[in-house]
Each structure stands twice: as C-alpha cells, then as structure tokens.
Amino acid sequence: MTDIRTERMEKRLWGLSVPDLAAHPTVYAPDLLKGQRLLISGGGSGMGRATAVLAVRLGAEVMICGRDGEKLDRAAEEIERATGARILTRAMTIRDPEQVSAVMDDAFDELGGLDALVNSAGGQFPIEAIDLTPKGWNAVVDTNLNGTWHMMQAAARRWRDAGVPGSIVNIVATIDRGIPHSAHTAAARAGVVYLSKSVAVEWAPLGIRVNALAPGTIETEGLNNYPPAMLSRLGQGNPMRRMGDTWDIAEGVVYLTASSGKFVTGELLQINGGMHLWGTNWPLGVPESFRGTGG
Ligand SMILES: CCC/C=C/C(=O)SCCNC(=O)CCNC(=O)[C@H](O)C(C)(C)COP(=O)([O-])OP(=O)([O-])OC[C@H]1O[C@@H](n2cnc3c(N)ncnc32)[C@H](O)[C@@H]1OP(=O)([O-])[O-]
Ligand SMILES: NC(=O)C1=CN([C@@H]2O[C@H](COP(=O)(O)OP(=O)(O)OC[C@H]3O[C@@H](n4cnc5c(N)ncnc54)[C@H](OP(=O)(O)O)[C@@H]3O)[C@@H](O)[C@H]2O)C=CC1
C-alpha cells in the first residue's frame, strides 16, 4: 500500500474523490450516454456518486437523491466544478413510498423523461444475528428491500404509462455464501436479487430491463460505519486480496444500462474480486471457532 493511501485511510478519506473520478480513464466512448437521463439513489456518496460522475462524463443528464440534502448539494457542486456538468438533487428517503413517488415525478418532469434508474441507496450495521432487535431488523429490511422496491415500481409504472423502455440497476452485496455479522442485509439483498429476476421477466414485454450488481468490498466513505477491527482487515476477504474502487462499480453500472447491456436482463453482475467464491469479512472480528481456518 502506498504512503498516500495509508494516510487517506487513517484520515478515513476512503476512495476516489470527485476530481479523481473526473480524471479517471474510462473504457467508454465520450458520448456513449448522450441523451440518456439517469436517476441515482444514494448518489451523494460512494458508488452512486462515482456513477453520477461517469454518467455526466459520457453525456448523460443526472438527478441524485438521498436523505442528506447538504451531502447531495456538495456532491453536485463538486461534480460541476470537476466536469462542468450540472446535476439535479432531491433530499428524500427511499423508505417512504410518497417521497419516492414525488422524486420520480420530479425526475421525469425535470429531466424530460428517464432512461435508467440506479439504486445505490442502502446500508446496514454489523451485528451478530442473535442480538438483532425487531427495530434493527426492520430498519435494514425497510431500507434495502422495501426502499429499493418502491423505487423500482415507481419508475416502472411511469415507463409503462408513457409506453417507453427503461433500465434498472440495483446495487446489492455479495450474498452467495451469506454475510456473517450482517444477516439482515444478506436477507434484504437476496430479496432484491430475486425480486429483480422476477420483474425482469414480468417487465420484459414493457421494454424494461432489470439487473443487479453485487459489489465486493469497495473503498467508499460508507466503510466509516464499520469498526476499526474490520477496517484493518479490509480487502483480505476475497481471492484477489484487495478492495475494489468506485470506478469498478460505475463502469459496471454503465455496461448494464448502456447499449452494451441491451440483451442483458435478470442478471447479477458480481464485481467483487471473486468474493462470492472465497473469503469472509467478519465485520465484528473472526469468532474463536473460525480462527485459523483461512476464511
Ligand atoms: C457487509 C459488507 C460490507 C458492506 C459495506 C457497506 O455497505 S458500506 C455502506 C454502509 N453505509 C451505511 O450503512 C449507511 C447507511 N446506514 C444507515 O442509514 C443505517 O445503518 C440503517 C439503514 C441500518 C438504519 O437506518 P435508521 O435511520 O432507521 O436507523 P436508526 O439509526 O434509527 O436505527 C434503527 C434501529 O437499528 C438498530 N441499529 C442501528 N444502528 C445500529 C448499530 N450500529 N448497532 C446495533 N443496532 C443498530 C437499532 O435497533 C436502532 O434502533 P434504536 O436502538 O436506536 O432504537
Ligand atoms: N462499500 C462496500 O464495500 C459495499 C457497499 N454495499 C452497498 O452498496 C451501496 C452503495 O454503498 P457505498 O457507496 O459504499 O456507501 P455510501 O454509504 O456512500 O452510500 C449509500 C448511500 O445511500 C444513501 N441512503 C441510505 N439510506 C437511504 C435512504 N433511506 N433513503 C435514501 N438514501 C439513502 C446514503 O445517503 P444519505 O445518508 O444522504 O441518505 C448514501 O449516499 C449500499 O447499498 C451499500 O450498503 C454493499 C457491499 C459492499
């Protein structure tokens, strides 16, 4: 690890900044998304913000939403400064269907329609499943499963009513071997994956494609929600033995939404260094019974 990276990690400045993202090389042609309109939940930080930067760099118009209006405005200002592109922001929670409906109306009105919805809003807290309270369980399931569903259905209804196609990408998590110490989110994300596969079939006649993207451990400020014990082992929980970056995810989202993905629906794209095959994170530390077993 370089000294600069160590310093950034110690200051808990995870991941690529907006200027980094604005200058990052991309495999895509500059006008790939010209004329496309995207709504990105959780677009004020992390993977959602990286996707917003890549999308505007490729010519798209973007609205980002999340709970913290100041965070969204800060992201929009940084993006304008770094790329010259103006994006729209809306403070809301995906957990409230009425707020979801309002943001979707705004996106369709103010962007003049919508081509793609990217659901990057979500999160959880590490806990041993046996200690979960009903309130904690409900908070995580309501955010990650119900909230994502409200967004998906609200977009799909408007595409159906307008008789136009659309595309949805749901950012989930690597769930193939469960997520010990995060069973609540594993359950919710598994729900989103199979929800996505189900409506990919139901909505194909409407011209709506629905895909999921499973990130592994990705360097974002979201990691500040985790205990230092986990942070010191970050990146070891996959066969590539490193973290991914938000550009890995942003380019994956664009692959699925752009014409490159026009024959892809109901898919789960894993961008995780092979984490679905080997490795665990144990956010609260490796339990005694699993020590020395190689993850
Ligand atoms: C997994 C692999 C790596 C993944 C990395 C990432 O995803 S990076 C991205 C990560 N980014 C994020 O995760 C950011 C987004 N995450 C969030 O916004 C929240 O974590 C949330 C969605 C889970 C809760 O939303 P909310 O506003 O409804 O929450 P609230 O605060 O009102 O709590 C409701 C109840 O939940 C419980 N409880 C909560 N925290 C803890 C805890 N630490 N400990 C124990 N329990 C906890 C508690 O029961 C609480 O009720 P109480 O006892 O207070 O009456
Ligand atoms: N980083 C990683 O290693 C991994 C991340 N993930 C998941 O990927 C997604 C993106 O994460 P990442 O970019 O790392 O983390 P961030 O915490 O940076 O992004 C999550 C975003 O979701 C928004 N959000 C959370 N709850 C709500 C809500 N109820 N309504 C609207 N917006 C909400 C947050 O904004 P605000 O606080 O303003 O609402 C935040 O911008 C999340 O679902 C995350 O859990 C999955 C596996 C690994």
Q: Is the CB of 120 under 6 A from ligand 1?
A: no
Ligand 1 mutation pick, 225, 276, 284, max ligand atoms within 8 A of CB: 225
Q: How far is the CA of 205 from the centre of ligand 2 (A)?
A: 31
State both tokens at 154.
């609200």
Cβ-based burial of 59 (10 A; exposed 0-12, middle 13-18, buried ≥19): middle
Q: What pLDDT score was predicted for residue 240?
A: 96
Q: What pLDDT score was predicted for residue 6?
A: 56
Q: Is the CB of 143 under 6 A from ligand 1?
A: yes
Q: Is the CB of 222 under 6 A from ligand 2?
A: yes
Q: What pLDDT score was predicted for residue 223?
A: 85
Ligand 2 mutation pick, 21, 47, 68, 242, max ligand atoms within 8 A of CB: 47
CATH pick for 29-290 out of 2.60.200.20, 3.30.70.240, 3.30.60.50, 3.40.50.720: 3.40.50.720
Q: How far is the CA of 42 from the centre of ligand 2 (A)?
A: 6
Q: Which is nearest to 26 in space by CA: 78, 83, 95, 77?
A: 83
Q: What is the spatial distance between Cα 170 and Cα 194, in angstroms, rounded to a whole number?
A: 11
Atom 46 in ligand 1: residue holding the nearest Cα: 136
Q: What is the spatial distance between Cα 180 and Cα 186, in angstroms, rounded to a whole number?
A: 8
Q: What pLDDT score was predicted for residue 3?
A: 47
Q: What is the ipTM of this complex?
A: 0.97
Give the contacts of 134 (CB within 8 A, at least 6 positions apart).
Answer: none
Q: What is the spatial distance between Cα 207 and Cα 156, in angstroms, rounded to a whole number?
A: 10
Task: Collect the ranges in the chain with pLDDT lower than 50.
Answer: 1-3
Ligand 2 atom nearest to 50, measured from its CA: 13
Q: What pLDDT score was predicted for residue 68?
A: 98
